[in-house]
Structure 1
Amino acid sequence: MNLSNPLLRVVIPLVMVVGIYLLIRCIARLKRLIFPAIRVRFPASATPYTLALPQAGRYVISVLIPPLTFITGVAHFSARFSVTRTSDGTSLNYRSYGRSLFRVQRSDMSGKQSLPLGEFQCGEPGELQVTCLNPESIRADYELEVAPHVPVLTLFALVLATIASSFMAIGGFVMSLIVLFGAD
């Protein structure tokens, strides 16, 4: 490969700059997926919890498992929920995931692991009432969380884009140094 080609002296640094730009965008999107702007946490109890969702969309109800907790049994997968609008009492369709393989799990910086239990579609912003119909299936020290749904394919594509952009940035930087210092 002839590294003294003038075209390579332009293309290689350009690949590095584009890689850095894409890497910054990918990391920002990953941050929004890991730490969503809309995230409501509440205790798992039989009393209904009222929450306000500022935008319509698909939401996931997850169980938050404290850090360093050994999970014995998975009774929380059998938890059932009722989601209703507080304005008119309309019940929203809640779909339980069960023990599905294709779901996105989160963990935050405090070590809490978030396992999705099911989802519901919110057609318009407003207040909702979430009731756990069998709170005995979830341990008392666990919490529940309502957050936007993250499709598995979106997360997979974003991880691949992050890896590709980091290769572009690092490879472009190394190749730029090689071209700059004239090593053949």
Structure 2
Amino acid sequence: MKILLAMAFITLITFNAQAKDTTDLSQCLSFMQHSEKKLHAKEQLDLCQLTAGKPILIVNTASHCGFTPQFTALEALHKAYKDKGLVVIGFPSNDFFQEEDEEKATADICFVNYGVTFTMLSPVHVWGSNAHPIFKELADKTTAPKWNFYKYLISADGKNIQHFNSKVTPDSDVFINAVNTIL
């Protein structure tokens, strides 16, 4: 009897855990249904699992841009808001000719020079006909990035998408207020 009861309890826990995962994934925004390689790693990251039901900040980055020091403020924002659900994702891009040629060098700048711990993915195109599907969707809903460090704040339900140009820093009052509004 005790064994049967224990098996039923384990089955119930397993079912609830699987149901929870399914519910979370059902909240995934359609344009986030991608697996992407993490920066300078073999690991693929399921963006649905990372972002489902959470507000998102997407940034196109470059290692040798005048705005590259924004990594410091992005990291501070990540640390301040990750427990409130905000997911920060950086997409390096050489579309504006300011990214390293080697992914390892990009990773060194992000992780070593700036101490980035938020999600950084392998380089992608962010504008034009070759743009990654996520950036095509963001361009359709707002605007395509016109330079490095364009920032896109996306509400958890995807109904509110705001873009901020490179000059709007992640630690500015206008940006922090926008983050607080989507949380």
TM normalised by structure 1 equals 0.29
More contact order relative to length (CA 8 Å, sep ≥ 6): 1
The structure number with the bigger radius of gyration is: 1
- Structure with a larger share of its residues in strand: 1
- Structure with a larger share of its residues in helix: 2
TM normalised by structure 2 equals 0.29
